[in-house]
């Protein structure tokens, strides 16, 4: 591996996806365009400067036209942007400023953008206010073209590299071509941000929340990602490269060893079979769940069909996707979660304009507000339910009326299918995610309308601590083993038991082997997680008895200090793994 003679730098971040890799850095998005310099353009060069602006506009125009050809559904929005490029107030004004003030194109563009957006933002009608966003969007594209920053399309990267970005959206990560991208690192993000979740499902090493990686790392710098420890080493010495080569081999051997037993049942020492299922984002990942020994899909996140495309997916498309997963998994269960849009996953073609998307029209709230979109999805799920073992799960439930309303719409969807003589499962189970504090506190009330609970600790932790799950600055508050979270899990499990319904965990907390004894002891009956974590969790379950786990959880519940809880969890994990290693 070719190396620059540079000093080795170690960056610490949040371990988001395990594994180790080394390779050349590929900067996806440097600083953006923040500082625009103003300079004088001499009279004889004015024409050239205006032409430079025109060429940049033309480039953006062509690019947008290509996008329309690929994404006919979002043609309307893109056409608005193309029209804006030719708008007199915008286009002519920039040329006029270049000429009259004898300034560079970037500065003229910045000035016109600022003036126009201020004007539109001050208008009453919301569609005019929205126009300000369009102007910013289009101006940014022209600016990048002027300065020579090309927007990288991740899908087209065809070199073996490591991506380095300020931030990557879940949709961008899902475009990664595994034969080329070895791993990725970002300045922003948190372990349970959806970006991290997609990375785990792709099984590539990722470290997030590095804060200033894009400032320190340059294109083609050699870097090592240690996704297990959350470290990135920039310009490693030969010695460091050798150390990590060895670490990588050790880690891969360990993974291979537990994977060999992945398909054996997870039977505890006292004979309980605990089901461990997979979480998937894309229908193709179902194979990975099977390969890793998952006995079903406990969480099928359905947002990606909505966020990666350029418009709402059709019922036919959704039906085909769901049917594919269900048929491959049959007879094992597939729990399809209804659209959990917004929060940190917004429609690509219609970005959220809410000030607080995580607290806004997200998930079931969005679906109840847009019944047509919801019914399209419900019809697709119901139609697919005829092909296997399907359950429906509602995200972000905070009130009983939300379940009742969702069921009414499900009923409407069912009725319309019946009228069309289309087959579907009549007694489909409808469960809810427990991921809002109100749902924990009123779990007894919600259980009257829900067939099962699945605890979504990613959001539960976010909402309990009021700490954005994707914000690296508050990631220290994101504490799964905090007594607040443990007590909430215990309460939910107790209510589920009392009401006679099942309770699973599908948040990332459940995929950490360190947490397994506590969660089992608190009463979790089923685990669902990213596929690559399944073998390790199953192995842990085989090494413990439910009784031992209960005693341990009861002891932990008495602790008030997180450090003490974490130490005890670590000790228990070591005991269980050591015992097993000496036995085998
Ligand atoms: C959760 O919130 O824990 C969860 C599993 O759902 P998501 O991560 O998709 O929000
Ligand atoms: Mg959630």
CATH number of 94's domain: 1.10.274.10
Band (pLDDT 50/70/90 cuts) for residue 563 is very high
User: Where is pLDDT greater, at 168 or 46?
Assistant: 46
Nearest ligand 1 atom, CA 506? 5
Quick one: pLDDT at residue 566? 97
Domain extent for 351: 271-577
Q: Which of 198, 303, 336, 456 to mutate to test the pocket of ligand 1 (most atoms within 8 A of CB)?
A: 456
Answer yes or no: is the C-beta of 459 below 6 A from any ligand 1 atom.
yes
Q: Same domain, yes or no, for 193 and 281?
A: no
- Is residue 72 pLDDT above 70, yes or no? no
Among 202-206, 250-254, 380-384, top mean pLDDT goes to 380-384
Is 179 found in the same domain as 131? no
pLDDT number for residue 118? 85
Q: Does 242 map to a domain?
A: no
Closest CA to 85 of 106, 123, 55: 55
Q: What is the pLDDT of residue 354?
A: 87
Which of 299, 337, 458, 480 to mutate for ligand 1's pocket (most ligand atoms within 8 Å of CB)?
Answer: 458
427: helix, strand or coil: coil
Q: How much of the chain exceeds pLDDT 70, in percent?
A: 92
Window from 63-77, 426-440, 541-555 with minimum mean pLDDT: 63-77
User: Same domain, yes or no, for 218 and 359?
Assistant: no
Q: Which residues contact 304 (CB under 8 A, 6 or more apart)?
A: 170, 171, 174, 281, 282
Question: Is residue 33 assigned to a domain?
Answer: no
Q: Is the pLDDT assigned to residue 349 strictly greater than 80? A: no
- pLDDT of 4 reads 43
**Is residue 334 predicted with pLDDT exceeding 50?**
yes
Q: Is the pLDDT of residue 356 over 80?
A: yes
Query: Which residue, among 581, 547, 14, 566, has the nearest Cα to 257 in the 3D structure?
Result: 581
Q: Please tell me whether residues 141 and 166 are part of one structural domain.
A: no
Judgement on whether residues 19 and 58 belong to the same structural domain of the protein: no
The average pLDDT across 498-513 equals: 97
Q: How far apart are CA 219 and CA 205, in angstroms?
A: 19
- 282 and 346 share a domain? yes
Q: Whose CA is nearest to atom 1 of ligand 1?
A: 456
Instruction: Kindly state whether residue 251 falls inside one of the protein's structural domains.
Output: no
Q: Which ligand is nearest to the CA of 458?
A: 1
Residues 351 and 498 reside in one and the same domain:
yes
For residues 434 and 456, give the distance between their C-alpha atoms in angstroms, rounded to a whole number.
6
- Average pLDDT of the residues in 490-512: 97
Measuring CA to CA, which residue among 495, 500, 537 is closest to residue 520? 537
Taking 80 as the threshold, does the pLDDT of residue 65 lie above it?
Answer: no
Better-predicted residue by pLDDT, 537 or 145: 537
State the distance from the centre of ligand 1 to the C-alpha of 519, rounded, in angstroms: 17
Same structural domain for residues 365 and 319?
Answer: yes
pLDDT band of residue 97 (cuts 50, 70, 90) is very high
CB 1 within 8 A of CB 241: yes
Lowest mean pLDDT among 14-28, 368-382, 433-447: 14-28
Q: What is the mean pLDDT of residues 346-352?
A: 73
- In terms of DSSP H, where are the helices of 203-261? 213-216, 238-260
- Dist. CA 265 → ligand 1 center (Å): 26
Q: Which residues contact 270 (CB under 8 A, 6 or more apart)?
A: 545, 546, 547
What's the pLDDT at 169? 79
pLDDT tier at 423 (50, 70, 90 boundaries)? very high
Query: CATH code at 176?
Result: 3.50.30.10
CB 281 less than 6 A from any atom of ligand 1? no
How large is the average pLDDT for residues 148-166? 82
State if residue 435 touches ligand 1 by the CB under 6 angstroms criterion.
yes
Q: Which atom of ligand 1 is nearest to the CA of 509?
A: 3
- Asked whether residue 243 is domain-assigned, the answer is no
Cα 521 to ligand 1 centre (Å): 22
Report the C-alpha gap between 443 and 439 in whole angstroms: 5
The pLDDT value given to residue 3: 43
Classify residue 215: in a domain, yes or no.
Answer: yes
Min mean pLDDT across 173-187, 228-242, 365-379, 521-535 is at 173-187
pLDDT for residue 583 = 42
Least confident of 7-21, 124-138, 298-312: 124-138
pLDDT for res 197: 85
- 147, 170, 203: which is the final residue of a domain? 147
pLDDT digits (tens, 9 = 90+) for 448-460: 999 999 999 999 9
User: Which residue's alpha carbon is at the smallest distance from atom 8 of ligand 1?
Assistant: 458
Q: Residue 130 above 70 pLDDT?
A: no
Residues 387-391, mean pLDDT to the nearest whole number: 97
Index of the ligand 1 atom closest to the CA of residue 435 = 2
Residue-wise pLDDT for 253-285, tens only, equals 998 998 899 999 999 999 999 999 999 998 889
Residue 342 lies in a domain: yes
Q: Is residue 214 part of a domain?
A: yes
Query: Is the same domain home to 23 and 50?
Result: no
Assigned domain for 566 exists: yes
Q: What is the DSSP letter of 426?
A: T
Confidence of residue 31 (pLDDT cuts 50, 70, 90): very low
Same domain, 290 and 438: yes
Joined tokens for residue 107? 């500065």
Task: Calculate how far, in angstroms, residue 457's C-alpha sits from the geometric centre of ligand 1.
Answer: 7
Which residue numbers are catalytic?
A: 194, 506
- How many Å lie between the centroid of ligand 2 and the Cα of residue 193? 10
Question: 324: number of CA atoms within 13 Å, CB side?
Answer: 13
Could you tell me if 497 and 572 lie in one domain? Answer: yes
Strands (E), 400-518: 429-434, 452-455, 502-505
523 and 413 in one domain? yes
What is the count of structural domains for the chain? 3
Matching residue, tokens 């891969």? 252
CATH of the domain at 278: 3.20.20.60
The reported pLDDT for the residue numbered 2 is 41
């Amino acid at each position: 591996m070719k190396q620059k003679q540079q000093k080795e730098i170690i960056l610490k971040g949040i371990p988001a996806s395990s594994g180790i890799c080394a390779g050349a850095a590929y900067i996806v998005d440097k600083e953006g365009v923040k500082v625009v310099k103003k300079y004088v353009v001499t009279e004889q060069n004015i024409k050239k400067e205006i032409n430079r602006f025109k060429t940049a506009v033309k480039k953006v125009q062509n690019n947008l036209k290509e996008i329309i050809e690929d994404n006919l559904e979002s043609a309307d929005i893109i056409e608005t942007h193309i029209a804006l490029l030719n708008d007199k107030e915008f286009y002519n004004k920039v040329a006029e400023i270049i000429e009259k003030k004898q300034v560079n194109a970037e500065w003229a563009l910045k000035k016109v953008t600022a003036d126009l957006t201020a004007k539109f933002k001050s208008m009453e009608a919301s569609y005019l206010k929205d126009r300000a966003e369009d102007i910013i969007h289009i101006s940014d594209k022209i600016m990048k073209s002027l300065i020579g920053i090309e927007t990288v399309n991740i899908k087209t990267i065809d070199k073996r590299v490591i991506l380095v970005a300020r931030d990557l959206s879940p949709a961008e990560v899902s475009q990664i071509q595994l034969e080329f991208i070895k791993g990725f690192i970002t300045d922003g993000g948190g372990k349970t941000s959806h970006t991290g979740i997609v990375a785990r499902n792709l099984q590539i090493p990722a470290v997030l929340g590095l804060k200033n990686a894009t400032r320190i790392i340059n294109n083609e710098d050699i870097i090592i990602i240690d996704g297990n420890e959350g470290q990135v080493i920039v310009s490693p010495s030969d010695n460091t490269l050798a150390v990590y080569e060895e670490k990588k081999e050790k880690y891969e051997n360990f993974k291979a060893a537990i994977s060999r037993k992945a398909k054996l049942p997870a039977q505890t020492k006292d004979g309980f079979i605990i089901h461990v299922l997979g979480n998937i984002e894309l229908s193709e990942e179902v194979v990975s769940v099977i390969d890793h020994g998952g006995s079903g899909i406990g969480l099928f996140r359905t947002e990606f069909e909505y966020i990666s495309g350029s418009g709402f997916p059709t019922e036919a498309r959704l039906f085909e996707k769901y049917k594919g997963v269900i048929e491959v998994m049959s007879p094992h269960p597939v729990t399809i979660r209804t659209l959990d849009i917004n929060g940190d996953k917004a429609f690509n073609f219609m970005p959220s304009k809410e000030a607080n998307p995580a607290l806004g029209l997200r998930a079931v709230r969005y679906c109840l507000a847009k019944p047509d979109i919801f019914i399209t999805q419900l019809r697709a799920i119901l139609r697919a339910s005829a092909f296997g073992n399907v359950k429906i799960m509602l995200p972000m439930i905070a009130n009983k009326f939300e379940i009742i309303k969702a069921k009414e719409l499900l009923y409407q969807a069912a009725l319309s299918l019946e009228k069309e003589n289309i087959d579907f499962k009549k007694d489909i189970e409808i469960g809810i995610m427990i991921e809002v504090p109100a749902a924990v506190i009123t779990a007894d009330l919600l259980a009257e309308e829900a067939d099962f609970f699945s605890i979504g600790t990613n959001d539960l932790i976010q909402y309990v601590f009021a700490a954005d799950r994707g914000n690296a600055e508050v990631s220290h508050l994101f504490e799964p083993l905090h007594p607040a979270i443990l007590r909430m899990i215990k309460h939910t499990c107790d209510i589920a038991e009392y009401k006679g319904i099942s309770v699973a965990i599908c948040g990332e907390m459940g995929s950490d082997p360190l947490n397994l004894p506590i969660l089992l002891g608190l009463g979790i009956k089923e685990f669902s997680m990213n596929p690559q974590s399944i073998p390790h969790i199953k192995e842990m379950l085989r090494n413990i008895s439910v009784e031992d786990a209960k005693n341990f959880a009861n002891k932990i519940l008495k602790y008030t200090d997180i450090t003490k809880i974490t130490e005890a969890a670590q000790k228990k994990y070591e005991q269980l793994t050591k015992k097993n290693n000496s036995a085998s």
